[in-house]
Amino acid sequence: MVELLAGVLMLSGAVMFLVGSIGLLRLPDIYCRLHALTKVDNLGLGLIVAGLVLRHSDPRLAIKMILVWILLLASSAAIAHLIARQALRRESE
Amino acid sequence: MMDSWLFDVVDALLALTAVVLAAMSVLGSDQKRSIVLFIAFGLLLSLIWARLQAPDLALAEAAIGAGLTGALLLSALPYSTAEKGACRQQRAWADIAFNRALRGLAATLIAGVAIAMIWALDDGRLQSVPFTVSEQVFGHLPHSGVGNPVTAVLLNFRAYDTLLELAVLLCVALGILALGQPSVPVVAPGPVLVLLVGILVPLLVLMAGYLLWVGAHAPGGAFQGGAVLAAAGVLLLLSGHRDAWLPGPRLLAAALGAGLFLFIGAGAAMTLSGAVFLEYPEGWAGAIILLIEAMALLSIAVTLVLAYLGGPPAPSPSPPARHTDVEGH
């Protein structure tokens, strides 16, 4: 049961990454691409981490993986903001 | 367990993508694109090292190959394009021909080496060695003072090599310091970047310390830790700290030389006490290695930050102003 749930979580995470990659390739401008990329890699990695946490019983490993996810949340949000700000500046020049 | 053919497919895809990325990075005409592809190539290479069960190399490749080298190339980009624009008209035919000849020569050399390697592996020449290196390493590991075979080789069995590597790094740092004050672009970091730097820099320092400590029995060590610490310095430079929190000239010199001179000093002390140069006394090897690695980490980190900066750091404005920089504006 737990295995099944973990599999579903990880698979939906992988689908998220796929959707994000398609968005990165197909969306028209930098802001839309950022939108696709940041939403999707946060959620995608979150789902995969959730699946992995379920599969492994070691709580130390689980905490490590969740910390990795939190770090990615912070850096990905900040980097998206920086890229968007730079793009806006370049446009206004 | 997952099927092994699935891993075969993943490995084949990794190898193929690495070759394609490398070719795109070298052959492309847009320099910025080439650099981004180079960074992607580095990350892929570290994945490949991880698949080959060489986590030490994977760590080093991700931190130094993809991360710091990528940052270095990106910071060099403005100079390169500015020069190109200035002398595009005068770019002589001979220049282009020379470039092509150089590329052809490099390609021939690489192809030659690749063919020689395939021939040597295929012929089983490497198998004719009476013992394998890994047997030797694992056989002597209990005496090395550390549990990680890579650290044992770098800091104990082949400590000479690492000592000379540190000497090379010191020469590099001296060369960079001789370049004179670099022109660091003045950046006004936004509140988000300041916040991110406030989170990441302490984490990177912690991570560097962890890598140093864990290097004794698991993948990690001075080079990986030094690269991570240097990344903190690069972040500080990017967010408007023009001195990257590097110390003044005297302390800077001490930090640069610390790794090499402690290494030599430890070796000399061993010689004086009757042992061979760098023959660690029984039972003390672990502690001496940790001390040498700690100093080497400092030297490596400072050298790498100097390489990114491209010259000696600007004198810091006034020491108390630093901390308000982080929290305020």
Q: H helices within B123-248, ranges in order?
A: 133-140, 149-152, 159-177, 191-214, 222-238
To the nearest whole percent, how much of chain B has pLDDT over 70?
87
- Give the closest residue to B171 by CA, choosing from B306, B323, B32: B306
- Per-residue pLDDT, B105: 92
Is B192 in Cβ contact with A81 (below 8 Å)? yes
Residue B282 pLDDT level (bands cut at 50, 70, 90): confident
- Per-residue pLDDT, B249: 85
Model pTM score: 0.81
- CB-CB neighbors (< 8 A) of A81 in chain B: 190, 192
Is A71 in Cβ contact with B195 (below 8 Å)? no
- Per-residue pLDDT, B81: 63
Asked whether residue B212 carries a pLDDT value surpassing 90, the answer given is yes
To the nearest whole percent, how much of chain B has pLDDT over 90?
33
- Per-residue pLDDT, B209: 94
Residues B229, B202: contact at Cβ < 8 Å? no
What is the distance in angstroms between the Cα of B56 and the nearest Cα belonging to chain A?
Answer: 19
Most B CBs within 10 A among A67, A81, A83, A86, hence the mutation to make, goes to A81
ipTM exceeding 0.85, yes/no: no
- CB-CB neighbors (< 8 A) of A74 in chain B: 196, 199
B214 and chain A in contact, CB less than 8 A? no
Q: Give the pLDDT confidence of B239-273 residue by residue, as tens digits.
A: 888 788 888 888 999 999 999 999 999 989 888 88
CA–CA distance, B173 with B195 (Å, rounded to integer): 31
- Per-residue pLDDT, A15: 93
- Per-residue pLDDT, B317: 56
What are the tokens at B243? 């001195």
Residue appearing with tokens 């802001």: A31
Residues B164, B196: contact at Cβ < 8 Å? no
A81 and chain B in contact, CB less than 8 A? yes
- Rounded to an integer, the average pLDDT of A77-90 is 87
- CB-CB neighbors (< 8 A) of B195 in chain A: 78
Residue A78 pLDDT level (bands cut at 50, 70, 90): confident
Residues B312, B255: contact at Cβ < 8 Å? no
What are the tokens at B31? 């320099």
Residue appearing with tokens 């022109």: B183
Residue B95 pLDDT level (bands cut at 50, 70, 90): confident
Alpha-carbon Rg of chain A, whole angstroms?
16
Residues B234, B242: contact at Cβ < 8 Å? no
A64 and chain B in contact, CB less than 8 A? no
Residue B321 pLDDT level (bands cut at 50, 70, 90): very low
- Position with higher pLDDT, B319 vs B311: B311
What are the tokens at B283? 């039972």
The B residues from 173 to 202 touching A (CB cutoff 8 Å) are 190, 192-193, 195-196, 199-200
Is B196 in Cβ contact with A74 (below 8 Å)? yes
CA–CA distance, B133 with B135 (Å, rounded to integer): 5
Tell me what the pLDDT averaged over chain B comes to: 84
Is B190 in Cβ contact with A71 (below 8 Å)? no
Q: Give the pLDDT confidence of A33-48 residue by residue, as tens digits.
A: 888 888 888 899 999 9
Residues B308, B68: contact at Cβ < 8 Å? yes
- Rounded to an integer, the average pLDDT of B37-58 is 92
